[in-house]
Structure 1
Amino acid sequence: MKRIIILAALISGMLYTAMAQQFPSFKPLRYEEDYSILKKDSSNNGWYPNAKYNPLSSDGNVYVSLGGELRLQYFYAKNDGWGDEPEDKDGYVLSRYLLHTDIHTGKHFRAFLQIQGSMANGKVSTSPVDENPLDLHQAFIDYRTGVNSETKLIFRLGRQELSYGSQRLIAVRDGPNNRQSFDAAKVSVINTKYKLDLFYSHYVAAKKGIFDDGWNKDVQFWGSYLTLNKIPVLQNIDVYYLGLWRRKASFDDGSGRELRHSAGTRIFGKQHAFKYDIEALYQFGNFGDNNNKISAWTTSANLAYEFTPIKYKPEIGLKTELISGDKNYGDNALQTFNPMFPRGAYFGLAALIGPSNLIDFHPSLSFELTPRLDWNIDYDIFWRYSLNDGIYAPNTSLMYSGKNSSNRNIGRQLSSEFVYMPNPFLYFRAEFTWFKTEAYLKDVTAGRDILFAGVTAQIRF
């Protein structure tokens, strides 16, 4: 642990010398960063500019770009699992590093390689999402070509991250310690007014060993995702179809093979100080040996208004979701919504509950205390949508059955965080969550309130 802290301090000190120069901003998907702009600026010299853009040809079109991330987190949880998990009085430390190489060989070809290491120290029980010491996270090749002056095609093959929309369904899962990826073939059509992705993939299941996240035959995922921009009044629209096949899926009503299709749309944008993100989708298919019919759905609204003229620029927000659950046990039908591959911290920071069989009401308030320091507060109220279904974890696995309680009220969650970004390279966060158990959780667990606190330090380069 001490070695990691020393390494982070050294990297931070070296990056300080590069801060006076302008570089493209870091992106959630690191392969979307483009440092070819540095070849036009001869003043960019030194170790960091050379690491981001190292030309290998006289014209500068063949180059290598290096980058990475180091993240350290300390968490303390009281009454983890609402009192069902062993008590840990000391807390635990999570560490993650990501290192990548981006190789461009001219205007058409590109290769991207990224390794990931995730460690959990002091945690009572861990999963591969917490601890995966060293593995190949991404390794793909691109072929790019232009259709016309406004449209280009990208053909991508290999292990890669996928992220779409608000990450309600497909995310990089950055909150947990181990990000997720897919072995995929993808075609992208990109225009100033739209972007269309077509892909077929196998989900990469994380394992606790070294370089053992191999080919996964048990989960197949495919789809198309279209984003339309500059639409009158509505501004931006997503329209998508997603297909999922799992060899074995488990829900409160049973387990078995799952074939699920999802069709949905999302409208999002900003009008002056008002921001909106509204989404609805429907799922159909079959489940289990008896080909039980799937009929599930969800709707969500995420609205926010920023009072820009006021000191600290307060922003009030409201999120609300209806997420279907199974209507009846043993009726040869399944109405439980499957969020597939969502972001880990779906409701707040602590990632206690996943988005299945829920009614969620989620007001929030945020302040910009300084240009580099934000303070966010949110309050969540959870109910079960169906009394004949349980509640699920963020990874869609069943946590507690609905068969042992007739109560709908799950609980309330209050979270607060301070986020400090002194420069583009460094990120710090302090967070606190209190979860108040209500009738359902008191029926199916020890029923204790959860207190969760943590600090995060991250450096990107």
Structure 2
Amino acid sequence: MKNTFFLLLLLGIFFSANAQQKPVFQKLRYEDDFTYLKADSTKTSYEKIKYIPLGKNDKYYASIGGEARLQYTYTVNNKWGDESDDDGYLLSRYLLHANVQLGAFRTFFQLQSSLANGKTDPSPVDENQLDIHQAFLDIDFIRKENEQLTLRSGRQEMSYGSQRLVAVREGANSRLAFDGLKLFYKKNNWQSDAFFTHPIANKQGTFNDSFNENAKFWGSYTVIHKVPFIQNIDLYYLGLWKSRAVFDDAVGTENRQSIGTRIWKNKGNWKYDFEGVYQFGNINQKTISAWTISSFACYTFENIKYTPEIGLKTEIISGDKNSGDGYLQTFNPLYPRGAYFGLVALIGPSNLVDVHPSINFSLSEKWGLGIDYDIFWRQTISDGIYAPNMQLLYSGKDTTERFIGSQLISNLNYDLNNHLGFTLETGWFNAGSFLKEVGSGKDYFYAALTAQFKF
């Protein structure tokens, strides 16, 4: 492991030294833009692979990129003492992509390899040796400076809004992609997407992540910027069909619709994010009626040393009210970011009341420190608690205890340059009365060191 970390360090230094301008890497790598290099006649060896002319037409070009992430994790009392501990394990993820633009046509291809060393019984999300992660074709029907209409077909990542419902699952070892079609339109201050997809179900092995017929995911998502008073607003509809879903009080084919809105501001000293979602549908002759509301606000003190940012997030996420009736009020977060409440995700956003204060410091241009504290209760005592992937962790049918516990997390970040960064995260989960009654209820601890390299 030491040799691999050292290799990433050398690569980070090498690529940084070979870039005349600091590259900007997007969270969705197909959004990277290196066209500013087309007018550069003195490109370095690194910059030559970021912008490769394909003929004399400057609308014909290619680009190559990738990333590697190593994450060593040590835990104590897995699942609050109900699962055996690993003596530390190493997760590694490698991504390599190629982008080709030919006028109105564009293709993007990306491989993903996710490996788990030392982890007992790794899931397909932990270990998926090698597969095609993305492979899609874009056709531009309109491509102007302030207007774009594009159809995308194939395997693709998607991420929307605060990533509470649709995300690439960055925290997990394997990122999430979808097979399907997406039509998106941008003009001036707004963008609207419509899509119909099948989420990929990862499988351990090589090139075997085939088309998933057991789940369908579709919807539309619109973002409007520069709205008077509220700044930005998202409006969306999301549909989900799964051949089999398991909740504490329902098992069967799930057909769920979600409608929601989000009001947000992410610039300036004051930042905020308010979101509400209502879900309806059916599962095994039960009527779905679920909801969530979320609020987040923070303020950055620019004139104080280390520019502290103090924030408060609260969430109420519905759970099932009455076991055995004809209704299901359990909220389904669909495809949220993997590290929803910390890097080692213990609890998913369903049947929860959550209060989450935080503080972040910019110690220097390269160093950052974050501390946050979470307090969790069950929203209803008839429902259990779930993992981020909606696997039922503990049923709530045999206990009336509401308090799940509290969690303290710290993050220390160091960015050597735009190519290489390190994060040390530690977390302590103090088990509450609910966990003590339904299981061993031991306090949980983890420490994780992550190195991520991009080019």
TM-score w.r.t. length of structure 2: 0.98
Residue matched to 1:160: 156
State the shift of 1:148 in Å. Answer: 6.2
State the shift of 1:211 in Å. Answer: 0.6
Residue matched to 2:112: 116
Residue matched to 2:82: 84
Distance 1:34 1:280, change over 3 A: same
How far apart in 2 are the matches of 1:303 and 1:13? 37
Q: After TM superposition, list the pairs within 5 Å mapping 1:66-145 onto structure 2.
A: 66-88=64-86, 90-106=87-103, 108-145=104-141
State the shift of 1:201 in Å. Answer: 0.1
Residue matched to 2:348: 354
Amino acid across the alignment from 1:390: G
State the shift of 1:191 in Å. Answer: 1.4
State the shift of 1:209 in Å. Answer: 1.0
Q: After TM superposition, list the pairs within 5 Å mapping 1:61-460 onto structure 2.
A: 61-88=59-86, 90-106=87-103, 108-146=104-142, 150-270=146-266, 272-288=268-284, 291-460=285-454
State the shift of 1:179 in Å. Answer: 0.3
1:49-87 Cα offsets, whole Å, 9 max, x none, are 111001111133211100000011110000011001112
Determine helix, strand or coil for the equivalent of 1:85: coil
How far apart in 1 are the matches of 2:118 and 2:344? 18
Moved more, 414-423 or 9-18: 9-18
Q: Structure 2: which 5+ runs fail to align?
A: none
CA contact (8 A) 2:158 2:178 kept: yes
State the shift of 1:249 in Å. Answer: 0.3
Moved more, 205-214 or 9-18: 9-18
How far apart in 2 are the matches of 1:440 and 1:230? 45
Aligned pair 1:42/2:38, yes or no? no
Amino acid across the alignment from 1:275: K
Determine helix, strand or coil for the equivalent of 2:411: strand
Determine helix, strand or coil for the equivalent of 2:8: helix
1:164-206 Cα offsets, whole Å, 9 max, x none, are 0000000000001010000010000011210000000001000
State the shift of 1:16 in Å. Answer: 3.0
1:212-237 Cα offsets, whole Å, 9 max, x none, are 10000000000000000010010100
How far apart in 1 are the matches of 2:342 and 2:13? 32
State the shift of 1:2 in Å. Answer: 6.2
State the shift of 1:31 in Å. Answer: 0.2
CA contact (8 A) 1:349 1:415 kept: no
Residue matched to 1:51: 49
1:105-126 Cα offsets, whole Å, 9 max, x none, are 12x0000000000001011221
1:90-118 Cα offsets, whole Å, 9 max, x none, are 20001000000001112x00000000000
Residue matched to 2:8: 8
CA contact (8 A) 2:12 2:417 kept: no
State the shift of 1:47 in Å. Answer: 1.6
Residue matched to 2:31: 32
State the shift of 1:315 in Å. Answer: 0.7
Moved more, 124-133 or 10-19: 10-19
1:131-181 Cα offsets, whole Å, 9 max, x none, are 001010000000113276632101100000000000000000000101000
State the shift of 1:24 in Å. Answer: 4.4
Amino acid across the alignment from 2:99: D
Distance 1:39 1:271, change over 3 A: closer
How far apart in 2 are the matches of 1:272 and 1:167? 21
How far apart in 2 are the matches of 1:376 and 1:447? 27
Distance 1:23 1:65, change over 3 A: farther
CA contact (8 A) 2:23 2:418 kept: no
How far apart in 2 are the matches of 1:282 and 1:382? 21
How far apart in 2 are the matches of 1:24 and 1:201? 32
Amino acid across the alignment from 1:78: V
How far apart in 2 are the matches of 1:392 and 1:97? 29
Amino acid across the alignment from 1:126: P
How far apart in 1 are the matches of 2:343 and 2:37? 37
Distance 1:153 1:270, change over 3 A: same
Determine helix, strand or coil for the equivalent of 1:455: strand
Determine helix, strand or coil for the equivalent of 1:248: strand
Amino acid across the alignment from 2:31: E
Amino acid across the alignment from 1:198: A
How far apart in 1 are the matches of 2:8 and 2:368? 23
How far apart in 2 are the matches of 1:149 and 1:425? 29
CA contact (8 A) 1:294 1:333 kept: yes
CA contact (8 A) 1:348 1:378 kept: no
Count of aligned pairs between the two proteins: 455
State the shift of 1:34 in Å. Answer: 1.5
CA contact (8 A) 1:24 1:33 kept: no
How far apart in 2 are the matches of 1:407 and 1:121? 38
